[in-house]
Amino acid sequence: MLVVHKILGNIGSDEGLRGRFEELEKKGLAEHIEFSPQEATKGRIRKTTDRGTELGIALERGKGIREGDVLSLDERRIIVARLKTLEALVITVRPAGPLHEVIETAVRLGHILGNQHWPMTFKEGVIVVPVTVDKKVMETVLKTYDLKGISFTFQEVEVEALAPSEVHPHDHPFGP
């Protein structure tokens, strides 16, 4: 088993790595390893590439895996991370009116999502919330508050993993 302790770079942002990836891919020496966004936040995980190479991933605390991260590179192969798409609640916020109403809508929406403990991220100007409970429950929660200027749909989306530092587990000090 190959053990990965650090990410070597990303083919999306490093031209040298992208060139090396393309070169090895043409030779049939590129391997991919697919992660769910939840798996990509784990510092310790065992996975297998699309070509059967077993990897033990042991990253330093707080490091997540992103689409295009290079996990291994030598003259025989390159191993690149892929993030799976996932079903998500995609919320678009376009409130109209005075600034205080816009701020109120944003704060109320943040409170609603946070109160449900739903992880979220921003992508291309929308709020993306992975479906972690029944979709009817998520829909009912948003419809209950009837926020003006808010629309939502359920879609398959590509999302970057939520970094472990963005997840804030906590206790409620005033009861269960």
pLDDT in tens, 3-31: 999 999 999 999 999 999 999 999 999 99
Average pLDDT for the chain: 86
175 within some domain: no
Which tokens in the block code for residue 3? 């053990």
> For the chain, what percent of residues have pLDDT higher than 90?
55
Whether pTM > 0.75 for this model: the answer is: no
Same domain, 107 and 56: no
61 within some domain: yes
Same domain, 15 and 76: yes
Q: Which of 38, 60, 83 is the last residue of a domain?
A: 83
Q: What domain count does the chain have? A: 2
Largest Cα span, the chain: 61
What CATH number should be reported for the domain holding residue 154?
A: 3.30.70.790
151 within some domain: yes
What CATH number should be reported for the domain holding residue 42?
A: 2.60.260.20
Looking at 32-134, list the stretches that DSSP marks H as alpha helix, in order from N- to C-terminal side: 99-115
Say whether 88 sits in a helix, a strand or coil: strand
Average pLDDT on 39-54 reads 92
Contact 24, 78 (CB under 8 A): yes
69 within some domain: yes
153 within some domain: yes
Same domain, 112 and 64: no
Which tokens in the block code for residue 40? 């990509």
Same domain, 67 and 11: yes
Same domain, 29 and 71: yes
Contacts of 10 (CB under 8 A, 6+ apart): 17, 66, 68, 69, 70
pLDDT at residue 85, rounded to an integer: 83
Question: Containing domain of residue 33, as a range?
Answer: 2-83
pLDDT for 158-173, tens place per residue?
766 554 434 444 454 5
- CB count within 10 Å of CB 51 equals 13
Q: Which residue has the higher pLDDT, 54 or 160?
A: 54
